[in-house]
Amino acid sequence: MKHVALLVILALFNTTVGFAQENNIRSFGELLEIMEASEVMYNVTLFSELPDYDPLTSADELFPTLADHVEYPWVEEGDDTGYSLMTYPMDSLALQFLFEGEPFYQEDDFEKARSYYEKALKANDQFYVSYLHLGDTYLFSGDPETAITYYQRAAVLNPYDYRCFYYLANAMVRAGRKDEALASYISALSLKPRHENLLSTISNNQDFLDVVVMDVSFTPEALVRKTGDQEVSLYLSESDNGIWMPYAFAKAVWLGEGGGRSDARTWSSQSELEAMVAVVDGYAGRLESGDIAPVPWLDRLSVLATNGWLSQYIIYEIGSRMNPDVTLTLNPDIRDSLREFIREHVVVSIET
């Protein structure tokens, strides 16, 4: 990249450094200077030169899946290693009773199914899955209050399985307990961000809960690839008015330079924060100079940056794509802040 190109880009974006300074990260201008001085070759290419390009595929490449979902999760805290995710200890005898009762449950013979689920509970009264199954038999036979007691017990035994809070919230809705239902839905989302069925259920109950479910999806129209030992290629859309350029440049620096660390050439929350701040700062500068009209999703991202929610947003929207159980091993204080983010920006209460 030549100096003249650097000057043209800086002039185009008229970037501010406000959000970068506030987050103690490099500004878009500083990233460009790193690229200018680097021995790495950075090539900017249009998506039209990628005939198979699809924005969703691009997002999958930027945010690759790093871990599989654990169906029955459990978390243990180690002395030195922090939190470890594992599979909840399963009880074979209890599972056998649950399996035997399932055909009756599928046929809506809840009383017969319950007789098997109660056997599972007698086999092991600490096996939380049995409480979930028993709660279901009461919920779908018209007794949400009794179902609530079973779901609550399951949540106590395993507070890491989002289904405990999801099912509890559904029962709370049927029991007419609005505030408790909303709190349980938010707890479920904090354990399983972006879960499609969960968000759909909340949307279906928006009127009862007095909330609006906001679309906070993030689909970059940019792609960055390592195309050689000392070469990084940036792919951009010709139709987005340069909005995604700062994001692509920030991601390219991390891929090409390692973000200042030799092991940082893959995704990290810090690299994503720097890239998002670059977008916000670039947008703020261009908006101030009148180069572009307001863009709703960028306005939303700017609000998150202004109010200090970008880190939580990255966990909720990006981290959960790459690891569906990413929130389970978070420090409890961070998960509490994630719940607050969800309440403020995802499942938003309607002011009455």
Please name each of the domains of the chain with its CATH number: 3-43+242-349 (no CATH), 73-213 (1.25.40.10)
Which one is predicted more confidently, 237 or 99?
99
| Chain mean pLDDT for the chain | 88
| pLDDT 10s digits, 188-200 | 999 999 999 999 9
Residue 115 has pLDDT above 50, yes or no: yes
Residue 236 has pLDDT above 60, yes or no: yes
Closest CA to 116 of 275, 129, 51: 129
What's the rounded Cα separation, in Å, for the pair 352 and 345?
17
Residue 124 has pLDDT above 50, yes or no: yes
DSSP state of 350: P
What's the rounded Cα separation, in Å, for the pair 197 and 183?
17
- The mean-pLDDT minimum among 19-33, 85-99, 161-175 falls in 19-33
Q: What is the pLDDT of residue 352?
A: 45
| pLDDT 10s digits, 273-327 | 999 999 998 888 888 888 889 989 899 999 999 999 999 999 999 999 999 999 9
DSSP state of 351: P
What's the rounded Cα separation, in Å, for the pair 251 and 195?
27
Q: Which pLDDT band, with edges at 50, 70 and 90, does 9 fall under?
A: very low
- Give the strand order in the sheet containing 41-46: 41-46, 231-236, 222-228
% of the chain at pLDDT higher than 90: 62
What's the rounded Cα separation, in Å, for the pair 255 and 24?
20
Q: What is the pLDDT of residue 5?
A: 46
Locus of tokens 């399985």: 161
Half-sphere exposure of 219 (CA within 13 A, CB side): 9
Q: What is the pLDDT of residue 111?
A: 97
Q: What is the pLDDT of residue 56?
A: 64
Residue 217 has pLDDT above 90, yes or no: no
Q: Average pLDDT for residues 115-141, to the nearest whole number? A: 98
What's the rounded Cα separation, in Å, for the pair 171 and 186?
14
Question: Is 50 in contact with 227 (CB distance < 8 Å)?
Answer: no
| pLDDT 10s digits, 19-74 | 555 556 788 888 888 888 999 999 988 888 877 777 667 778 888 888 899 999 99
% of the chain at pLDDT higher than 70: 89
- The mean-pLDDT minimum among 128-142, 240-254, 324-338 falls in 240-254
**What CA–CA distances, in Å, run from 110 to 128, 137, 147, 232, 283?**
19, 5, 12, 60, 57
Half-sphere exposure of 35 (CA within 13 A, CB side): 33
Residue 201 has pLDDT above 50, yes or no: yes
Locus of tokens 């939380």: 128
Residue 220 has pLDDT above 50, yes or no: yes
What's the rounded Cα separation, in Å, for the pair 63 and 322?
6
Q: Which pLDDT band, with edges at 50, 70 and 90, does 206 fall under?
A: very high
Question: Is 190 in contact with 182 (CB distance < 8 Å)?
Answer: no
- The mean-pLDDT minimum among 12-21, 29-38, 180-189 falls in 12-21
What's the rounded Cα separation, in Å, for the pair 239 and 342?
32
